[in-house]
Amino acid sequence: MILVTGATGTVGRLTLRRLPVGHAVRVLARDPSRVAVPHRNVEVVRADYGDPLSLRRALTGVHRALLVTNRVGGDDDAVFLRTAREAGVRQVVKLSAAAVADLQAQDLITRWQRDCETALTSSGLGWTLLRPRAFMSNAMSWGSSVRTEGVVRTLYGHTPNACVHPQDIADAAALALTEDCHVGRVYTLTGPQPLTAVEQTEQLAEVIGRRLRFEELEPHQARVALLRRYPGPVVDALLDSALRQKAGAKAQVLDTVRAVTGSQPRSFRTWAQEHAGVFAPDGNRRSGPLFSLEGALS
């Protein structure tokens, strides 16, 4: 039995859809009604990392699990791993972040992810670490301003990030959950090229056939906007991370997606084509915050 967590979020949802029909799959969700179940072989169990009894129920009979957590500074990973070990789980595939490997990255969120990785690698369970760079889908956060004003606003728009398509992360996750050869492996996942926000804006404009403007935010403007959504320490972490991008720390392209999945990493243009509706003036309102929580972070 394979357990998928985070199935209402970006990577877990795509991973669930990628798992072959022949595998028995269980989804752990706080609200099962929000899970898009792809086929009959998928069972959905209501559980919460904060509720050990529900976790135990969800983990019983599971041999491999995808672990997605997002409560910065929390102990969800530790609680999940303890319960997984007791339940006899053999391997946990953890969604981490590329920044973990950067010794210059000492912000709160990266330190938390590092601690979570250590909790897994020292747990006695088999492990696989997925360390993606920024998700291309963080561009969803531009949806509202693109739709209504034709504008993309962010920090340090001329600095590159080798952002990765979430489907490539999900493809790697699905393989790690269904093949034996991924235990003890660390996969740092990037897209096919480093891209600046200005370049992303240009590509998005071409894809949706509209003129778009890029406006660079000053750090103090970004701070004010972020403080509307996140606590101060998380905002500090996001701004630190953006500074590392400005210094060029996130531009490196790696061959890992192709090496693991056998396919070339998907481009930002492809992502934009798939999500063009989000940016159309009459498009749907699936738009994220100014920054996705770790948007600037990996």
Ligand X SMILES: NC(=O)c1ccc[n+]([C@@H]2O[C@H](COP(=O)([O-])OP(=O)(O)OC[C@H]3O[C@@H](n4cnc5c(N)ncnc54)[C@H](OP(=O)(O)O)[C@@H]3O)[C@@H](O)[C@H]2O)c1
What is the contact surface with ligand X in residues (CB under 6 A)? 5-12, 30-31, 48-50, 68-71, 76, 95, 97, 113, 132, 134-135, 138, 292, 294-295, 297-298
Could you tell me the smallest distance in angstroms from the CB atom of residue 35 to ligand X? 9
Chain position whose Cβ is nearest to ligand X:
9
Q: Output the DSSP codes for 16-77.
A: HHHS-TTS-EEEEESSGGG----STTEEEEE--TT-HHHHHHHHTT-SEEEE----TT--HH
Q: Give the whole-angstrom CA distance, residue 34 versus residue 51.
A: 19
Could you tell me the smallest distance in angstroms from the CB atom of residue 45 to ligand X? 11
Q: Judged by CB, which is closer to ligand X: 210, or 246?
A: 246
Q: Judged by CB, which is closer to ligand X: 54, or 150?
A: 54
Strands of 2-4's sheet in order across:
42-46, 25-29, 2-4, 64-67, 91-95, 126-132, 185-189
Bridge partners of 152, per DSSP, are 214
Q: Judged by CB, which is closer to ligand X: 13, or 64?
A: 13
Could you tell me the smallest distance in angstroms from the CB atom of residue 30 to ligand X? 4
Could you tell me the smallest distance in angstroms from the CB atom of residue 209 to ligand X? 27
Q: Judged by CB, which is closer to ligand X: 135, or 271?
A: 135
Could you tell me the smallest distance in angstroms from the CB atom of residue 81 to ligand X? 14
Q: Which long-range contacts (CB under 8 A, 24 or more apart) does 222-227 make?
A: 222/154, 222/155, 222/290, 222/291, 225/290, 226/290, 226/291
Nearest to 278 by CA among 270, 269, 291, 287: 287
Q: Judged by CB, which is closer to ligand X: 201, or 292?
A: 292
